[in-house]
Structure 1
Amino acid sequence: MSAPATEPKQWNVGLIGYGEVGRILAEDLRKQEINVAAYDIKLRSDQSGRALRDHARQLGVTLTASHANLAAQSDFIVSAVTASQAVPVAKACADTVKKGAWYLDFNSASPGAKQRAAGMIDAAGGRYVEGAVMTSVPPYRIKVPLLLGGSSASALAPLLNQLGFAATVASDKLGVASAVKMCRSVMIKGLEAMVIESFTTARAYGVEDAVLASLKETFPGIDWEKQGAYFFQRVIEHGRRRSEEVREVAQTVREIGLEPWSSSGTAERQAWIADLADEGLFGERGSKGFARSADWRTEADRILGAIESKKRKP
């Protein structure tokens, strides 16, 4: 097994998870002619895997057959999967990770989960660094604000920034960067869930205009029409991933001895919307205009229609 390349632009980069985040990173890295390989469990599916394979082929991204295969050939691994898979993916890579290879855990997992994943990678000779993505990736792409943590974070940060990342070191102690991310998500993901619940209920009672006017008076710096549409769109499109993240948020709160009542409710609301999306309520995933209505009322009416339909079922 060859030693990892020392120059970032000569790295073989391995992306575990070829969803929205993985594809964006692949695009921005391939623009720099960096070698990129990827693995995603969805590649096993004829339907969902086809779009991923087409995307990879267009970019020149090599697709591998397994986590282990990807780890064996990568100088720098980015794990960008759902929160619940952060530890299992680290375990799957540990047996074949190159000695000295970097392992950046992009996942929105609790500090405890990051510490468990780090133990596996470091024990195998890799260099684990936790990453906390501090806002939505698409607007910023590879330059999304990224906090790093762990004993290898200070060494990795300048190398990442040579590739176009916007990485800063939060702490050399594992868990600090993730704690910042998780505590922020209590607010952000909670606000998403509250807006969907508030706006949909207001729509049902016919008082949405009065509610929006009141919110504007209390928080004049927020365009609640625009923000509402954005929150509906993001949760409809990514509710499953968000619900898993918020369950990790709840675990983060629980780890300090505080009962995560708010976070647990947020996770349930996000998962509920994801279930409706999976049933096709909001249209076909990936279709033009999917969940991007300029008027959140369109989506609220669909939700209300689904509720009425379920009421009518015996």
Structure 2
Amino acid sequence: MKTIGFLGFGEASFNISEGLRDEGLSGVRAFDAGWQREPYGTVVRERAERAGVTLENSAEDLIEKVDIVVCSISANMAVPVAQQVASFLRPDQIYVDLNSAGPDTKVEVEKIVAPHATFVDVAIMGTVPGNRHKVPMLAAGKGAQEIADYLNGFGARVTALEGPAGKASASKMFRSIFMKGYVMLLLEAVVAGRKFGLEDDVLVSIRDTLASGDFLKQANDMIARGVIHAERREHEMDEVIATLNSLDVDATMSVATKNKLAWCVSQGFREHFNAQPPADYHDIFAVLAR
């Protein structure tokens, strides 16, 4: 049985390792640069004890004792940490970059790691607490299928993508456009709604629109109609922004929406499709490729 070690033992590493332990994976190890410093050290030690994880004193000690190294830290540290530990890696090891970094960063890390070990770009595509090791993950790069097969043997949900490192993290970044933006749109809507005591009514209305039917069909129709009716909706957003300004409510998301609608107008979607929404939203890419 291959052994796994986590570089960084934050929320994601803890939850994933605890889930894997419950599925029968033993011998999980971790090194966290802050585990011997308080107050963070107490948190790390408590997590490790709860998950049955052995804490190592250094990254070198950790790497020496495991077959799979999983780097799970802050995205801005992905490259520096790879530079620090690359010389400790062995050709028979797999180095998994689990960080929420963009594809360019993952490619840069691969260049550092690949001369020493097999590199895998892994992206977490959901919320780890609650899902633990079963959170959906995507893997790309040379070792993607191998790591997917191994972790899935312990109940994980890793999908190996065909293609180079960076592809998995690219999918996560593009998903974040919606997921992070969606939360901020909701926030802007309820803050504005609060001015009239309508915040809950606004959420109910949104729920009734989005929670019915097949999401993929709904998304297709919303995108297809959105690009066709962009000019009218841009003018409607002018009214929204004016309303928010009159209420002294930050209109950042609404202004961005207006600007994106203006961009749609400039692409000439309405003219290309003769003012009729395309049946398949994929058809808009032909317009963008002109």
Sort the TM-score into its range (normalised by shorter chain): 0.5 to 0.7
1:283 corresponds in structure 2 to: none
1:216 corresponds in structure 2 to: 207
- Where do 1:73-92 residues align within 5 Å? 73-92=65-84
Contact 1:76–1:104 at 8 Å: present in 2 too? yes
1:71 corresponds in structure 2 to: 63
Distance (Å, rounded) in 2 between the aligned partners of 1:214 and 1:165: 36
Shift of residue 57, structure 1, vs aligned partner: 2.7
- Where do 1:145-224 residues align within 5 Å? 145-221=136-212
The one-letter amino acid paired with 1:46 is E
- For residue 137 of structure 1, give the secondary structure of its aligned residue in structure 2: coil
Shift of residue 143, structure 1, vs aligned partner: 1.7
2:123 corresponds in structure 1 to: 132
Distance (Å, rounded) in 2 between the aligned partners of 1:147 and 1:209: 36
Match of 1:27 among 7, 13, 18: 18
Identify which range, 176-185 or 64-73, moves more after superposition: 64-73
For residues 105-160 of structure 1, the C-alpha deviation after alignment (integer angstroms, 9 at most, x for no partner) is 1111111100011111111x211100111111223221222111012222332222
Contact 1:11–1:76 at 8 Å: present in 2 too? yes
The one-letter amino acid paired with 1:73 is K
For residues 149-184 of structure 1, the C-alpha deviation after alignment (integer angstroms, 9 at most, x for no partner) is 012222332222223222221123122111111101
Contact 1:68–1:92 at 8 Å: present in 2 too? no
- For residue 131 of structure 1, give the secondary structure of its aligned residue in structure 2: strand
Distance change (3 Å), C-alpha of 1:66 and 1:194: farther
Contact 1:153–1:172 at 8 Å: present in 2 too? no
Distance (Å, rounded) in 2 between the aligned partners of 1:15 and 1:175: 20
Bigger radius of gyration, 1 or 2?
Answer: 2
Contact 2:14–2:51 at 8 Å: present in 1 too? no
Distance (Å, rounded) in 1 between the aligned partners of 2:97 and 2:141: 11
Contact 1:74–1:98 at 8 Å: present in 2 too? no
Shift of residue 205, structure 1, vs aligned partner: 4.6
The one-letter amino acid paired with 2:169 is S
- Where do 1:1-150 residues align within 5 Å? 10-31=1-22, 32-123=24-115, 125-150=116-141
Distance change (3 Å), C-alpha of 1:213 and 1:169: closer
Distance (Å, rounded) in 1 between the aligned partners of 2:51 and 2:123: 26
For residues 178-221 of structure 1, the C-alpha deviation after alignment (integer angstroms, 9 at most, x for no partner) is 11111011100111122223223332453313423432343344
TM-score, normalised to structure 2, is: 0.67
The one-letter amino acid paired with 1:143 is K
Is there any run of 5+ residues in structure 1 with no aligned partner, and where?
1-9, 223-260, 266-314
Contact 2:16–2:128 at 8 Å: present in 1 too? no
Distance (Å, rounded) in 2 between the aligned partners of 1:11 and 1:204: 57
Distance (Å, rounded) in 1 between the aligned partners of 2:208 and 2:7: 45
Distance change (3 Å), C-alpha of 1:88 and 1:207: same
Indicate the RMSD between aligned Cα atoms, in angstroms: 2.3
Same amino acid, percent of matched pairs: 33
The one-letter amino acid paired with 1:131 is V
The one-letter amino acid paired with 1:177 is A
For residues 78-123 of structure 1, the C-alpha deviation after alignment (integer angstroms, 9 at most, x for no partner) is 1111221222222222121122201111111111100011111111
Q: How many residues align?
A: 215
For residues 264-312 of structure 1, the C-alpha deviation after alignment (integer angstroms, 9 at most, x for no partner) is x9xxxxxxxxxxxxxxxxxxxxxxxxxxxxxxxxxxxxxxxxxxxxxxx
Distance (Å, rounded) in 1 between the aligned partners of 2:194 and 2:32: 39
